[in-house]
Structure formats: C-alpha cells, structure tokens
Amino acid sequence: MEAFAAESGGMPQLNPEFWVSQIFWLIITFGILYVVLSKLILPKISANLETRKSQILENIEAAEKKREESEQKIEEYEKVVHDSKNEAKNYFKQAREKVLKDIGVKKEALDKEIDEEVNKAEIEIKTFRDNAPEKIKKIAEETSSDLLQQLIGAEVNSSSISAIVEDLSRKKMDEYYGN
Amino acid sequence: MATNPMHQFEVYRIGPEIKLGAIDISFTNASLFMVISSLAILLIFNLGSKKNSLLPNKVQLLAELSYSFVSKMISDTAGSKAKPYFAFIFSLFMFVLFCNMFGMIPYAFTVTSHIIVTFILASFIFIGVTIIGFMKHGLGYLKLFVPSGVPAVLLPLIVVIEIISYLSRPVSLSVRLFANMMAGHTMMKVFGGFVISLGIVGGWLPLSFSVALTGLEILVAFLQAYVFAILTCIYLNDALNLHH
C-alpha cells in the first residue's frame, strides 16, 4: 500500500491507507454539524422566519384596517362637503326669494303711491278744469265791463254783459273742449 | 511531483499518528478541510440566526435564503412528509457545498473529490432511505420494484432491472460527485501546468481557459451539491410516498 501512494500517476483516491481515517472524521464532523444544525440553529432560523411572516401579516392587516378607516373618513368628508353645498344652495335660494318678495312688496307700495299721486293730480286738474270756465267768465265780464266803461264812459248793465260773455264762451268752449 | 495533476488529491497526515486499536484515525488534510467546512457552516448559520430583525442583515439573509431554498427543494420533490428529514438534507447540502467550494481555493484540499467520502455519504443515504421505506410500508416497499402497467411477460426482466438500478443508487450518487470534482480539479491543474510550460509566449490561451474553468468549476461545485441533495430528496420521496 505504501508503494501505491508513492506511485505517480495512480489515483490517490484509491489508496486505502487513510480510508478509515476519512470515514472516522467524516462521521465526527458531519455528525457534529448535523446535531448542532438540527438542534440549535435550524429551529432558530425557522422561528425567525415564522415571526417575521406573522409580523408582516400583522402589518399588512393593520395597513388594510388603516386604509378602510381612511376610506370611511373620505366618505364622511365628502358627505360633509355635499351637505354644506346643499345648505349653501338653500341659503342662497331663501335669500333670493326674500329679496324678490321684498322687491315685490316695495314695488306694489310704490305703485300704489304713484297711483294715488296720479289720482290726486287728476282730481286737482279736474277741479282746475271745472273751475276754469267760471273764472274765465268772471274775468271776461270784468274786462268787458271795464273796456265798455272806458270806451263809452257809461255803466253797462252787468247782466247783459254776462249774457253775451256766456254766449261767446259757450261757443269757444265748444271749440276748446270739444263738447 | 508538483506537476502531477493527481498530486492535489493525496491525503497526508497532519500531526501525530492517532491509532484506535489497530485502526489508523490520524488527523489528515482531508480531516482538516472537513472540520473547516463544518465550522464555516456553523459560524455562518449561527451568525445568521443569532438575532431576529425584521430587516435582516446580510448574514441573516444568507442563512434564511438557504433555509427557504432547501425547504422548498424538499417540499417540491418529496412533499410534506419529508419535513422530519429537513435538518439532515440541509446539513448534507451545506456540507457538500462547502467542501466543494473550499476545494476551489488554490492549494486547498477537496474533501468530496475522494470516492470514500462520497460513497460513505451515499451509502448512509441509501441505507437510511431503505430503512425508512420498509418502516413506512413494510414489505409493501418491495412494490417499488414492480412498476404498474407492465405486461406480465416483461415483468421478471423489469423487476431485475429495477432491483439493479435501486442497488446501484449509492454507486451512481457517490461516483457522480466524486468524478465531477476530481475531473474538474485535474483539468484545472493540467491547464495550470500548460500555462507554466508554455511560458509568457503561449501561456495566455491555457490561462484564459483556466479562468473560464474556474468559473465553470464554481458552478459545478454548487450544481453537484444541489444534485446530491435533490437526488437524496427523490430517493426519500420513493420511500415516503410509494407510487411507482
């Protein structure tokens, strides 16, 4: 066997000199490796992985919850915005109606006042118009009598003058007033 | 001697000769690298499992990714029943992987390039899987050798083939790993020798080959560890879920 090892070109693997030694040390090292890995290290890694997995799942769950909450908040917020929009619209509508109503009332009152004024003015005009012929007649009588007095220097019977004025004014009145 | 590509596989004693009765169990360079690999695994995974932070640091991430990787590999190939054997397959994968990877360091010794080491591992798996199979299914485990849907005429032949293929499992499993590691390392050594012998003029081609081979060998180192572990899972699957 010693000769085999020294022989160059042969495979050292087939030299059985250290086979038993290799088997022995393989069993020792692999045995220790297996025992330490299986009893101490691998369970720890497995537990680490498990806790990480559950932690991540928990975090995902929490995130999901938060998301739902925020969605609810958004809904609430949108509702508030919508409600306030409606309220604002209502306020505007009411204000508008009120203003329109006020304007209507004031307009009516103003119309009434104007009507009254117009009526008053019409009545006044009417009285003026009604009184006008009398006054004109009187003035005409006075001026005609004055004129006659200065022209002929004699007192003229006032009743005859008034009769003439009346006659003339009636004729003229027909022309002015058309009746 | 140094230019011999097989020289790197030689086992030599480190320290005094240790004898257990008539058996030589001396500490050798092979033993040294088994110890180094195991200690490296234990160190990394101990660091990686020490504290549990929600945001893992690099070592923790490495440990946890390895854990999930092997865990997924087992559940994919052997199902949920293989869970009790997780620690064993994890240790096996890591041990083979680290031995392969340490072998990639220049002047280091590749533990898995020795047929005796891989054969002992493969035999242990083979015997263990066979025991598990018989424990789970009793003599029904022998149905593994009788595939369903085979014509009765062919059955004797098929059974013989099945038995031979079953018995050759430890051999194929061990030789695959050993041969891959040995061939790769020998090739790298040969190309390395070419670089020296061709010198500054013609050494560039084998040097570039060596660089490429190093990358390939690192891939092979990982791949062979993976294949070793996944074949173990497949054998375990046969033993646990008998459906041939």
According to the 3-state scheme, what is the secondary structure of A136-176? HHHHHHHHHHHHHHHHHCCCCCHHHHHHHHHHHHHHHHHHH
pLDDT digits (tens), chain B, 244 positions: 456 888 888 888 888 888 888 888 889 999 999 999 999 999 999 999 887 777 888 899 999 999 999 999 999 999 888 899 999 999 999 999 999 999 999 889 999 999 999 999 999 999 999 999 999 998 888 888 888 888 888 888 999 999 999 999 999 999 999 999 999 999 999 998 889 888 888 888 999 999 999 999 999 999 999 999 999 999 999 999 887 5
Closest residue to A22, CB basis, from B35, B117, B182: B117
pLDDT confidence band for A177 (50 / 70 / 90): low
To the nearest whole Å, the CA of B128 is away from the closest chain A CA by 15
How many domains is chain A partitioned into structurally?
A: 1
Whole-number pLDDT of residue A3: 41
Q: Can you tell me the ipTM of this complex?
A: 0.90
Put simply, the answer to whether A5 touches B10 (Cβ < 8 Å) is yes
Put simply, the answer to whether A22 touches B49 (Cβ < 8 Å) is no
**pTM of the predicted structure, to 2 decimals:** 0.73
Put simply, the answer to whether B34 touches A8 (Cβ < 8 Å) is no
> In 3D, which of A45, A156, A66 has the Cα closest to residue B48?
A45
How many domains is chain B partitioned into structurally?
A: 1
Residue B89 lies in a domain: yes
Put simply, the answer to whether A29 touches B38 (Cβ < 8 Å) is yes
Closest residue to A44, CB basis, from B4, B49, B91: B49
Q: Which chain A residues are closer than 8 Å to B115 by Cβ?
A: 13-14
Burial classification of residue A124, based on how many CB atoms lie within 10 Å of its CB (0-12 exposed, 13-18 middle, 19 or more buried): exposed
Whole-number pLDDT of residue B208: 93
Domain around B143: 37-240
% helix, strand, coil for chain B, step of 5: 75, 0, 20
Helix (H) or strand (E) holding A92: helix A42-152
**Other residues' Cβ atoms within 10 Å of the Cβ of residue B112:** 29
Q: What is the pLDDT of residues A17-36, one digit of tens each?
A: 888 999 999 999 999 999 99
> In 3D, which of B119, B171, B12, B37 has the Cα closest to residue A23?
B119
Q: What is the pLDDT of residues A31-44, one digit of tens each?
A: 999 999 999 999 99
> In 3D, which of B232, B236, B237 has the Cα closest to residue B118?
B232
Q: What is the pLDDT of residues A131-174, one digit of tens each?
A: 887 888 788 778 887 887 888 776 667 777 778 777 877 777 67
- Contact predicate A138/A146, CB 8 Å: no
Task: Establish, for the pair of chains A and B, how many residue pairs have beta carbons separated by less than 8 Å.
Answer: 134
What is the pairing mode between strands B19-20 and B23-24?
A: antiparallel
Q: What is the pLDDT of residues B205-244, one digit of tens each?
A: 999 999 999 999 999 999 999 999 999 999 999 999 887 5
Whole-number pLDDT of residue B54: 75
Closest residue to B120, CB basis, from A9, A26, A48: A26
Residue B202 lies in a domain: yes
Any idea what DSSP says for residue B224? Answer: H
Domain around A24: 2-177
What whole-number distance in Å separates Cα of residue A25 and Cα of residue A19? 10
Residue B1 lies in a domain: no
Beta carbons within 8 Å of B27's beta carbon, 6+ residues apart? A21, A25, B13, B14, B15, B18
**Other residues' Cβ atoms within 10 Å of the Cβ of residue A40:** 13
To the nearest whole Å, the CA of B240 is away from the closest chain A CA by 21
Q: Which chain A residues are closer than 8 Å to B27 by Cβ?
A: 21, 25
